[in-house]
Amino acid sequence: MHASPICLITGANSGIGKVAALELAKKGFDLILLCRNLDKARPVRKEIKAVSKTGRVDLIWCDLASQESVAQAAREVIDRYDRLDVLINNGGLFIDKEQYSPEGIELTFATNHLGPFLLTNLLLDLLKKGHNARVITVASEAYRWNRSFKLDQLAKPASYSGMGAYGASKLCNILFARELADRLMGFGITSNSLHPGAVKTNFGGGGGGWQSTIFSLMRPFFISPEKGAETTIYLASSPEVEKVTGLYFEKCRPLTPNQDALSDYNAKKLWTLSEQLTHLRDWSVAV
């Protein structure tokens, strides 16, 4: 008999992450929830456990903005598990005002791209031991808000705009997923990204600036988290996409992104920059 598939998901205590975790638990996945706010996450874990087929729902603290926290969470996962079948990079952030991570990197880019980049790389050995392992990165059509992709300004933008920083980080998600697909081709691990749709959650509403007001006004027209989570659940569990890799999905179908997102040059340059900014080789030795 096959052991239950093990799925790790970031940002699972609300919105589409929570819905995806609930549905995958019902499908018989063991779950590892990586969450920044444990007070919010504990009742959610209980909720997921109540519907889980296997009853195995683990909770590990992780702040994706902090590389130290990401490395610590990865160590805990490696200590507790001997394989990983699905990794869902779902956790994300939108902020109006410019802020910086503990490493001095613009917070949106640090949280939405560098955190998942580091986490995924540190967990690669477990994914290689998984059964037809899949990496799923939640991007967004907001990547189109990024008017000109300046790699040298991702960590420290010359001028800050919440929407610009968010759009750039989502473009990074698509580029990362594609480059990862290339690098993992020989290991039978797939990597895809997706646009969940404009989802009705608390996301983007807490900044207090004009952009938050726009989110609030538009929210009634957004889709439900249940609808928004469908593509994530599909990519994590459907046999149809078992061998599909390097694509960008919307509504459970591949969507062709723009030239910026399809650029191998951008993808490779971003990978090199991300390795440098996360000191990836140092962490790999430490873990």
All domains in the chain, ordered by first residue: 6-286 (3.40.50.720)
The Cα 192–Cα 246 span in angstroms is: 5
The Cα 10–Cα 1 span in angstroms is: 28
pTM of this structure: 0.91
How long, in residues, is the chain?
287
- Asked if 218 and 201 touch (Cβ cutoff 8 Å), the reply is no
> If phi over 0 gives left and psi between -120 and 50 gives alpha, with beta otherwise, what is residue 198?
beta
The pLDDT value given to residue 205: 44
The tens place of each residue's pLDDT in the chain, 287 residues long, gives 468 999 999 999 988 899 999 999 999 999 999 999 999 999 999 999 999 999 999 999 999 999 999 999 999 999 999 999 999 999 999 998 999 999 999 999 999 999 999 999 999 999 999 999 999 999 998 888 777 789 999 999 999 999 899 999 999 999 999 999 999 999 999 999 999 876 554 544 444 454 455 445 444 545 576 676 899 999 999 999 999 999 999 999 999 999 999 999 999 999 999 999 999 988 864 44
Query: What angle is formed at CA 149 by the lines to CA 168 and CA 269, rounded to 5 degrees?
Result: 100
Which residue in 188, 199, 203, 194 sits closest to 251, CA to CA?
Answer: 194
**Single-letter amino acid code for the residue at 115:** G
The pLDDT value given to residue 268: 97
3 state DSSP class of 118: helix
Choose the catalytic residue: 143, 166, 234, 248: 166
166 catalytic? Reply is yes
3 state DSSP class of 7: strand
Q: What is the DSSP letter of 95?
A: -
